Structure 1
Amino acid sequence: MSNLKPVIGITMGDGAGVGPEIIIKALNDRAVYETCRPFVIGDAKRLVQANQIVNANLQVRTIESADDAAFEYGTVDCIDLDLLPIDLPFGKISAEAGNAAFRYLQKAIHLAQEGQIDAICTAPLNKEALHKAGHIYPGHTEILAELTNTEDYSMMLSAPNLKVIHVTTHIGLIDAVKKINPKRVYTVIKLAHDTLQKAGYEKPRIAVCGINPHAGENGLFGYGEEEEKIVPAVEQAQKEGIDAVGPLPADTLFFRATRGDFDIVVAMYHDQGHGPVKVLGLEAGVNITVGLPIIRTSVDHGTAFDIAGKGIADELSLKEAIRQAIELAPKRAL
């Protein structure tokens, strides 16, 4: 029995953004094909346009299913949903592009559930365009959770020397504090622990952020949120043998994590976790949805409408997302 390279389905994201360009740039690297079998779920004609924009010399080939893909360097296989008008402008919000981004992801999830692909790697979508098309979700993570009937999930960001998992993400700060509770904090600690163990960490070291400055400093700041919402969760995890500590002051915790004191940080809200990761570089960050029955990774940047269609978008985050999808994907046997 010999293992086959994993099949990675790459969704095109919002076609008015940089997704088509970074996909073409990433698949113009022969090394990608040496480690996986990639194909795109999107619009073939948009990929052809992107191929011209970035001055690549790739052939875009339309396929009906993953079984039809050639998986050969020089040819970009695409399950073509043909949803975008040929004259769709780059860099502008449109309902057509928002709807298409949703449909690409929907198709990819279906393919993953059928076993045609081993992991999904997503190019960025635009939330405003998504909403304009009538798909009212905060982002990719929530769509994936609903369409896979997943209740316990979280967003994990991975960058060199730092991994961060979130208790809350795409909600306002006041709502986030209200939503944080011991059950949710414990669930995210457990998700972090289980995910890293599957990735080869024997006993993951997990650090949990506080909510208030200096993690409340024994009640000096806030209204006892740390004691009420976080401490019970950490204690429960510790009783189960999980190496979790906290709540710790976020202003020093991320430095300690990048130094190597911890394997992953549990952040309480969006900006608490996203800020430190993005300071390390947008090109190196990867977004991973943890807790799903399928593997999903993504770039850790947006649609970049300001540079879309200009051929200058950086594909390194997408290539890193593909690499991590390969690492997390189940192995196929011949």
Structure 2
Amino acid sequence: MTAKRFALTAGEPAGIGPDLCLLLAAQAQPHPLIVISSHSLLKERAVRLALDVDLILVTPPTFPDHPAPAGSLYVWDTPLGATVVEGQLDRLNAGFVLQTLTRAAEGCVDGVFAGMITAPVHKGVINEAGIGFSGHTEFLADLTHTEQVVMMLASGNLRVALVTTHLPLRAVAEAITAERLERVTRILHADLQSKFGLPHPRILVCGLNPHAGESGHLGREEIDIIEPTLERLRGEGMDLRGPLPADTLFTPKYLEHCDAVLAMYHDQGLPVLKYKGFGAAVNITLGLPIIRTSVDHGTALDLAGTGHIDTGSLRVALNTAYQMAETHP
């Protein structure tokens, strides 16, 4: 039986992504894990952090089928565009960052990897390089020719998926259409079944407006769009409750009886989840033909090379990808 092999992209080279990868080497992983980054960058950062890590160069198609020993990392060397200085962004390395993502995603599509885990990237510097980039989620959707993807964050037993992601608040209401809501709900429901092993997922759905519109007095999106869409999907057997006011939905009374929450926009659901488990949460992209998880934090440029970082979120992202791969065919 072929081993389940995973790819880990080290993210923005001037941030803490390389540090996180190196710190992982202290303990052996349960699966072969291939770090996609610059070998020279990891070597220099290990010296900076005073870490004795054996960086084992590997190349396709002869990737190892057994985990690296404790104290070592498998590295698929990817060339930098410019020398890296910790904490200093350089647009010349934007192409390098996207190349690591492309290698990981294409490896997943081809079956070389069972899943990919991503350290944080810096969207701004990639855009400054003249490359249109709004985030991992959208990039991977384009690369895999996926029409609709869904961002979901999880911490412990709380999962929060989003109908809209990186939009200005003034654009959110227009983006909440029956078509989008139906597509997102179907993806969330299907992936909870296929990638999380939940045969009958229970989903709580937030309203868009305060008090879920208060019977139309605070907005009609709930009446005109959200409730009719949910009712139609309930008719197909989906266990959907809502639309519920977001300010009361995130309480034990509701959460103890659900498998996921569907929020209408980014800052409606994620502040609650990050308050509950920042540093121990995972970002999951649903709807892709591949498994992708990520950390719940940014590049932390000021901490790069200092050693004062926590690997908790990356470890959760790794373990989540491993668990999903066991469920996903």
TM range (shorter): over 0.9
Aligned partner of 1:63 in structure 2 is 58
Aligned partner of 2:201 in structure 1 is 204
For 1:1-334, list aligned pairs within 5 A: 3=1, 5-30=3-28, 33=29, 35-65=30-60, 67-69=62-64, 71-73=67-69, 74-86=71-83, 88-198=84-194, 199-222=196-219, 224-256=220-252, 259-329=255-325
1:262-310 Cα shifts (integer Å, max 9, x gaps): 1100011111121111101321110110000111110111101121221
Cα gap change, 1:272/1:257 in structure 2, threshold over 3 Å: closer, same or farther? Answer: farther
Counterpart Cα distance in 2 of 1:274 and 1:174: 18
Counterpart Cα distance in 2 of 1:233 and 1:309: 49
1:242-279 Cα shifts (integer Å, max 9, x gaps): 00011100011122478412110001111112111110
Quick one: which amino acid aligns to residue 210 of structure 1?
G
Cα gap change, 1:152/1:28 in structure 2, threshold over 3 Å: closer, same or farther? Answer: same
1:59-117 Cα shifts (integer Å, max 9, x gaps): 1122222623463223211111111433x211122212332211110111121122111
Q: What is the alpha-carbon root mean square deviation over aligned residues?
A: 1.9
Counterpart Cα distance in 2 of 1:235 and 1:106: 39
Q: Aligned residues: percent identity? A: 37
Answer yes or no: is the 8 Å Cα contact 2:249–2:255 preserved in 1. Answer: no
Cα gap change, 1:175/1:66 in structure 2, threshold over 3 Å: closer, same or farther? Answer: farther
Answer yes or no: is the 8 Å Cα contact 1:256–1:262 preserved in 2. Answer: no
Counterpart Cα distance in 1 of 2:328 and 2:185: 30
- Offset at 1:140? 0.2
Quick one: which amino acid aligns to residue 62 of structure 2?
D
Answer yes or no: is the 8 Å Cα contact 2:213–2:222 preserved in 1. Answer: yes
Secondary structure of 2:277 counterpart: coil
Counterpart Cα distance in 2 of 1:257 and 1:78: 47
Quick one: which amino acid aligns to residue 178 of structure 2?
P
Counterpart Cα distance in 2 of 1:268 and 1:331: 28
Answer yes or no: is the 8 Å Cα contact 1:162–1:258 preserved in 2. Answer: no
Counterpart Cα distance in 2 of 1:243 and 1:132: 44
What are the ranges of 5 or more consecutive residues in structure 2 without an aligned counterpart?
Answer: none
- The aligned length equals 326
Secondary structure of 2:251 counterpart: helix
1:123-164 Cα shifts (integer Å, max 9, x gaps): 100010111122212100000000100002110111112101
Answer yes or no: is the 8 Å Cα contact 2:9–2:119 preserved in 1. Answer: yes
What are the ranges of 5 or more consecutive residues in structure 1 without an aligned counterpart?
Answer: none
Counterpart Cα distance in 1 of 2:233 and 2:293: 26
Answer yes or no: is the 8 Å Cα contact 1:141–1:289 preserved in 2. Answer: yes
